[in-house]
Homo-oligomer: A and B are copies of this chain.
Amino acid sequence: MIKAGIMGATGYAGAEVLRICASHPEFEVAVITSDSEAGQQIADIYPAFHGVYDNLVLEPHATDSLLSCDVVFMGVPHKAGMLHAPRLVEAGVTCIDLSADFRFAHAADYEAAYHVQHAAPELLERATFGQPETNRAALDELAARHAAGEAVIVGCAGCYVTASILAATPALAAGFVNPNAPIIVDAISGITGAGRKPSARTHYCSGDESLEAYGLPLHRHQPEIALSYGRTLSDAHTPVAGDASVRPAPAHVIFTPHLAPLKRGILATVYLPLAKDAEINDASLHRAYEKAYAKSNLVTALPQGVWPKTGAVAGTARAHVNASLNPNERMIVAMAAIDNLGKGAAGQAVQCANIVFGLAEDAGLGGVACAS
């Protein structure tokens, strides 16, 4: 077994890593931490863990117990990830960070998006963006360094970004999309996305039976989407794509997140204007999506004409994706459905850890959503 720790195990994403690990063939959780709830048993906080993790007690983040783990999943907020990672890496512990702190290759991009100075820029060279379906080669490279004994870091893609990338990348990568026109990402999220902290917005009686947008006009995850799209567009449209020293411009992205009354799920609807010279139809568009995800065990391009439904992936690390063409307006409408805590956070974190540790990428992630 691989000894795992979870920092921030009382947050929704951390608790979901804990849940997944209960059925994982290799990762065994030995340490869980929380600064505000240290000393409590996890089952007192999440009753689903009664009878499962009955004696797992929360320690403070600073505990030395983490240093003896093989891997630590970091479910702490951004800014906390980069504060704790140096100590862990120094002790040889590989970090799977669910925060934003190690998602950006360049500290400047992080700093521009999150309005804070990066505390550990020297660690960025051993970190890779954790979105396996679109960044697998870099993760495999990281796995090789890990196999050679190096402590490495994965900066896992967040939930909105994952859904946005999965929906759009096949079209962007195929060169179907105009790189100069605005791309609209209109996403709807369940309420776990707002975190565990009780607030007026997360009160049952505010969220239930209502729909609302938030975070306008410029949500803080917009830059991550724009950078990812920009890189894919650049790879597709310009010859220097292979040159890592080139930093492609972010794409033109308008991102509007909405909140709907459900616990888990993100449905991202992405409007991609066709490139001037793109000659595609619904069938060829669909083939591009099928091909893009043909090798993935976790991401499925649905049959043509079938649209993703978040309920069909809830509680899992799976994603459903599809796209169609609006020929009148020369626009691709693409969608992805994920569980924001599954494929959008903890599930993808475990998938990245699986890759880094040389396991099957879907080890422990074979669960299927409740059909009803």
Contact = CB atoms under 8 A, between A and B. Distances in A.
Interface string A1-38: 00000000000100110110011000000000000000
Count of this chain's copies in the oligomeric assembly: 4
A212 to B, nearest CB: 4
A203 B198 contact: yes
A331 interface: yes
Contacts of A196: 203, 205, 372
A206 interface: yes
Interface stretch (A107-115, A117-125, A302-310): A302-310
A200 interface: yes
Interface stretch (A94-102, A144-152, A180-188, A231-239): A180-188
Given A16-B371, A204-B204, A306-B47, A269 B256 contact: yes
A23 B326 CA distance: 39
A245 B341 CA distance: 55
A171 interface: no
Given A12-B372, A191-B204, A368-B22, A210 B258 contact: no
A256 to B, nearest CB: 6
Interface in A173-211: 182, 184, 186, 188, 190-192, 196, 198-200, 202-211
Given A204-B261, A214-B307, A48 B15 contact: no
Interface stretch (A49-57, A62-70, A84-92, A128-136): A49-57
B260 A370 contact: no
Contacts of A51: 297-300, 318, 320
Nearest to A341: B372
A49 B318 CA distance: 11
A48 B182 contact: no
Interface of A: 12, 15-16, 18-19, 22-23, 46-52, 182, 184, 186, 188, 190-192, 196, 198-200, 202-214, 216-218, 252, 254, 256, 258, 260-265, 267, 269, 271, 273, 282, 297-300, 302-303, 306-315, 318, 320, 324-326, 328-329, 331, 333, 335, 337, 341, 366-372
